[in-house]
Structure 1
Amino acid sequence: MKTEVKKGNPLALLPLGVFLVLFVGSGVITGDFYKMPSLVAFLIAGGVALLFNRKVSLEEKMNIFCKGAGDSNIILMVIIFLLAGAFSSVAKAMGGVDSTVNLSLSILPSNLLVTGLFIIGCFISVSMGTSVGTIAALAPIGLGISEKIGIPVALVMGAVVGGAMFGDNLSMISDTTIAAVRTQGCELKDKFKVNFLIVLPAAIITVILLTVVTSGYSTILTDNYNYELIKVLPYLLVLVGALCGINVFALLGSGIIFASIVGLLTNSFDIFGLIEAISGGISGMYELSLLAITIGGVVSLIKFNGGIDYVLYFITSKINSKKGAEFGIAALVSIIDLCTANNTIAIVAAGPLAKDIADKYDIDKRKTASILDIFSSCWQGIIPYGAQLLTAAGVAAISPVEIIPFLYYPGLMFICGILSITFSNVLLKNIKSNEVA
C-alpha cells in the first residue's frame, strides 16, 4: 500500500528564500559574495520562520527552534568540527603542512610537474581536510613552476584546485564529510568506500589529461625541499585510523595528542604555543558551529510549518523511483551550493531533507552521504565566486574565470556522480560483494 504524502505548505519555505535573497543579493549588488555573513542571513531567516503559524505561541515556536538546534546530530557535528579544527591547527603549527608539501615535491618526477601537483594536492587535501588550505599551500609553488617552464598559470591553478577538491570531499576530517555522514547517520569509513569508488575514475582521467596536455613542458626542480617525516605521521595516523573504523572522537583526540607530542619534541612550539594553536583551531570553527546550530533550528521550524512536507510532496510527485530520488537530492544540494558558495552550508542545509527522501525511497545511507558531498564539492570547485577559485586566482593574479576551462577534476567528478546514480545498483553490489569477500 502506498503511503500518502502530506502536501505541506510551500510558504513555509519562505525563510530559505529570504536567506538566498540576502546572501546572493548582497553578492550580486556588491560583487563580494562574502559581504553578507551566512550566519547573519540565516538568523534573519530564522526570524521570518518564527512569524509563521499564529495559532502557536512564540514560546512554543522558540522551543521547536531550540530542539532542532540542539538535536544530538547537530551537537555531535559541532564537537567534531571543534576537534577537527584543533587537530588541523596543531598539525600546521608543528610544521606538518610544510613537511607534507616538501616531502611530496622532493619525489616529484621532473617530467610530470603539473600532474604531480595534482597528485600532491590530492594527498595533502585528504590529509588536511581543507581545500582552501591545500590551495594556499600549493598555489605559490604552482605559480613558481609556471614561471619556470612557461606553462599557462591558469592550467597549473586548475590542477591545484582539482587536487584540493579531491580531498575536500573524501578526507576524514573535512567538515563536508563530517556534515554528510552526521546528517545521514552513517560511518566515515563506509561513506569513504562508496565515495572513493565513485570519484576514483575522475582522478585517474584527470592524471591522464594533465599528463597529455603538459607533455611538451619539462624542467628539473633545483630547490632543496626540506622535510621531517615525523611531522607527516599525524596526518597518516588520522587517515589510517579512520579507514580502520576507529571512533571519530577517539581518532581526532589521538591525532591532537600525537601532533602535540611531535611538536613539543621537535621544538616547533612550547606548551603555551600548543595551547594557543589548539585555541586558534577551535576558534576558527566557531562560526561554522554556530551556523550548524542555527540551520538546525531554522530547518526544524520549516519542518514544523510544513515546508519539508511540501518539498517531499513536490519531489515525490515528480519522481517515482529510487534513481529519481537520488537525482533530486543531487539537484537540491547543487542548487544550495551555487547560491551559498559554501559546500558545508549546502550539506548541512540539504542534509535533513535528503535523509527524509532517502528514508522514503530506501536509499543506502552511504550513497546519500556521498551524493551530498560529491555534488556540493564539484560545484564548489567550479564557481568563480567560491573561496577555492578566489584563493588560487589571488595567488596567480588572474581572474578566477580564466581557471574554469582547466578544472578537469571537478567537471569529471560531476560526470562520475551522474553515472553513479544512473548505475547505482551496480556500484553498491560491487561494494557489498567486496565486503563479503
Structure 2
Amino acid sequence: MREKPENHSNITAELVEGKFYKHSVSFKYALFSVLLFFGCLLTGTLAFGASLELMFLLLWILVGLLVMKLGYKYNEVQNMAWEMGKQSFEPNTIILVVGVMIATWMASGTIPYVIYWGLEMISPQYFLITALLLASATSLATGTSWGTLGTVGLALMAVGNALGVPSPMTAGAIICGAFFGDKMSPLSDSTILASSISGAKVTTHIKHMLWTTVPAYVITAVIFLFLGLKYGKEAMNLQQIQEITSTLTKNFDLSWIQVIPLVIVLALLIKGVSSIVSLLLGVFSGLIVAVLNQGYGVSEVFNMMTNGFVIQSGSELVDTILSRGGLFSLMSSFLVVYLAMCVTGMLEGAGILNALVEPLVKRTDGSVFKITLVTMFIAFITSAIGSSMLLTAIVTGSLMRAVFTRNNLAPENLSRNIEDVGTIGAPIIPWNSNAIYASQMLGVSPFAFFPYVYLAFITPIFDIIYAATGLTMKKLKSEELEDENVPPAQHISS
C-alpha cells in the first residue's frame, strides 16, 4: 500500500483500489502530462514514421521525468513501471504462442484447408457478413477475442484476401465479431471482470448489455452486408480463385485430418481451459499433423516455429498469403505491449490518471447523463493511456462504483458502460494491445481497419441515448442499497 499523504487538499489523496498516492498532483499538471505524452507519441508515429515500440521506449524518459517532478525518486518510478509491466505477462505469452501456432498450422495444412473450403463455399458478396457471424459465434463459444483472431480470424483473413475483398473491410468484420463475442460471453475474462469490479452479477450484466449491443450489432451486420453486396461481386476473380485452390491441392494433402488442431483448440477454449495451454496444445497437434501427414521433418517444423513458415508453391499470390508466422514475427507486438504497460505504470502509479478524471467525477451532480458521459470518458482515456482492458475495467469501476450507488443506479449500468467503451472500443486505439494484436494476426494496420470497426462507434451511441432519456437505466433496489452501505440516493436527473 502506498503511503497516505499528509496534504488532503489535492485530488490525488483520493483512495483508488485501496491505495493512497504518495505525492499530490494538480489537474493542470495531469492534463499537461497526458497531452504531452500523446503529442509525442502521435508526432513520432504519424509525422516521422517511428515504430510504436521505439516511441514507448523513448517516452520512458519523458514520463519518468514528469513523475519525478512530483517528488518521486527514480527507483520508485521504475518500480511503478515494473509492477504494471508484470501485467503484460499473460497477453505477451499468448502473442508468442500464437506466432508459433500460425507457423505450425500453415505447415500442417490446417489454415490452407480452411482457405480452400472457404473459397469453394463462400460467395464474395456475402463474405463480410459471413466473417462477422463466424467470428461472433467462435468468440461467444470460447470467450476470447484473441483466440478467435488467432484461429478463425486468421483463416478468414486469408480467404478474404484470396477472394479479393479489401483487407481493411475483412479485418473490421472479423474484429467486430471477435470483440462482440468477447463482450457477451459468460466465459470472457473481460466480462467477468467488468461485472465483478462494478458489483453486478455476470448474467445480469450480460442481459443489460443486450440493450446497447444488439441494436448496434444489427446495424453493423447490415453495413457489412451492404458492403459485401457492393464490393464483393466487383472483387471476385474466378481465375485467381482457381489459381489458389489448385495450388493448395498441389502443395498440401487436404483432408479432415487438417482440421484436428483447430477443433482441439476451440474445444479446449469452450471448456474453459487456459488460453495459453489451449494454444500450446494447438501448436503440438499442428506439429504432429505437419510431420505425419504433410511429410515435414521435426527439425524443419521447429525452424518454421522460430522463423516462420515459408513456401515456394509456384504461385506468388499463394506464397504471399501463406508465408508467415513464427516466434520472431510477433516480437514487435511483444515489445509494444510490454513497454506500453511499463510507461502506463508510471502515469497510473503516480496518480496522474486519477488526477485527470477525479474533477469530472465530482461534477456529475447526480445527473444520469453526466455520470454516463464521465464513465465513458474515463473508460476511453484509461484504455488509450493504459493499452489494457484489464486496467480500464479496474480504474473505471473503482472510480465510479460509489458514484453510481450514491445516485441509486444499479451496478449493471456501470459495467455496461465499461464494456461498451473499454472492451468494444479497445481495438480502435492504434497503440492499445488489442489493436496491436489484431493487426499482427490479420496483417492490417490499425489505422487501416479503424474506419470499419463499426460496432465500436455505434454501441456507445446507444449508451448516450439511454442516459439522455433514462431508458434502460436500472435503479438500485432498497436491499441492494443496504448491501452497499452507502448514504441515501441523491436526486437524479436525466
Is the TM-score greater than 0.5?
yes
| Cross-structure match for 2:158 | 137
Larger RCO, structures 1/2 (Cα 8 Å, 6+ apart): 1
Return the match for 1:371 from 421, 435, 457: 421
Question: Compared with structure 1, are the counterparts of its residues 358 and 288 closer, same or farther at alpha carbon in structure 2 (3 Å cutoff)?
Answer: farther
Q: Deviations along 1:248-297, whole A, 9 cap, x unmatched? A: 23322322222222222222643223323443444344343344343443
Q: 81, 84, 90: which is aligned to 1:68?
A: 84
Match runs of 1:13-24 below 5 Å: 14-24=32-42
CA distance in 2, matches of 1:98, 1:416: 35
Question: 1:414, CA displacement in angstroms?
Answer: 1.8
Contact 1:118 1:160 in 2 (8 A): no
Q: CA deviation at 1:218?
A: 10
- Counterpart-to-counterpart distance in 2, 1:359 and 1:61: 28
Q: 1:258 to 1:134 in 2, by over 3 A?
A: closer
* Paired position in structure 1 for 2:179: 169
Is the CA contact (8 Å cut-off) linking 1:199 and 1:416 kept in structure 2? Answer: yes
Change (3 A) 1:314 1:26: same
| Distance change in 2, residues 1:90/1:252 (3 Å) | same
Superposition pairs for residues 338-377 of structure 1, below 5 Å?
345=387, 347=389, 350=392, 353-357=395-399, 359-360=401-402, 361=404, 362=411, 368-369=418-419, 371-377=421-427
Amino acid corresponding to residue 414 of structure 1 in structure 2:
F
Contact 2:128-2:225 within 8 A present in 1 as well: no
Alignment counterpart, residue 252 of structure 1, candidates 264, 267, 279:
279
Q: Is the 8 A contact 1:22 1:36 kept in 2?
A: no
1:26 aligns with 2:76: no
Report the RMSD for the aligned CA atoms in angstroms.
5.0
Counterparts of 2:372 and 2:217, CA distance in 1: 20
| C-alpha contact (below 8 Å) 2:107/2:294 kept by paired residues | no
Query: Pairwise mapping of residues 40-119 of structure 1 onto structure 2 (< 5 A)?
Result: 40-54=57-71, 56-70=72-86, 73-109=87-123, 113-119=124-130
What amino acid is the match of 1:377? P
SS in 2 for 1:129: helix
Q: How does 1:166-315 map to 2 (within 5 A)?
A: 166-167=176-177, 169=179, 200-210=217-227, 213=230, 221=238, 223-224=241-242, 225=245, 226=249, 227-267=254-294, 269-280=296-307, 281-315=326-360
Distance 2:9 2:263 in 1: 47
Change (3 A) 1:306 1:270: same
Aligned length: 386
In 2, distance between residues paired with 1:245 and 1:93? 27
- Which of the pair has more CA radius of gyration? 2
User: Structure 1 379/58 Cα, relative in aligned 2: closer, same or farther at 3 Å?
Assistant: closer
1:45-68 Cα shifts (integer Å, max 9, x gaps): 4433442333x4333333333233
Q: C-alpha separation between the residues in 1 aligned to 2:214 and 2:263? A: 20
**Which runs of 5 or more residues in structure 1 are unaligned?**
146-155, 394-398, 430-437
Query: 1:24: Cα distance to partner?
Result: 1.0
CA distance in 2, matches of 1:131, 1:333: 29
SS at 1:37's partner residue? helix
Superposed displacement of residue 107, structure 1: 0.7
**Deviation of the 1:186 alpha carbon:** 7.5
Q: Is the 8 A contact 2:53 2:332 kept in 1?
A: no
CA distance in 1, matches of 2:100, 2:354: 38
String of CA shifts for 1:141-165, please: whole Å, max 9, x gaps. Answer: 243x7xxxxxxxxxx5564243232
TM-score (norm 2): 0.60
Identity across matched positions, percent: 13
**TM-score normalised by the chain length of structure 1:** 0.66
Gaps of 5+ in 2: 1-7, 13-24, 139-147, 308-325, 405-410, 476-494
Alpha-carbon spacing, 1:162–1:300, altered in 2? closer, same or farther (3 Å):
closer
Q: Which residue, 414, 419, 422 being the options, matches 2:462? A: 419
Secondary structure of the residue that 1:254 maps to in structure 2?
helix
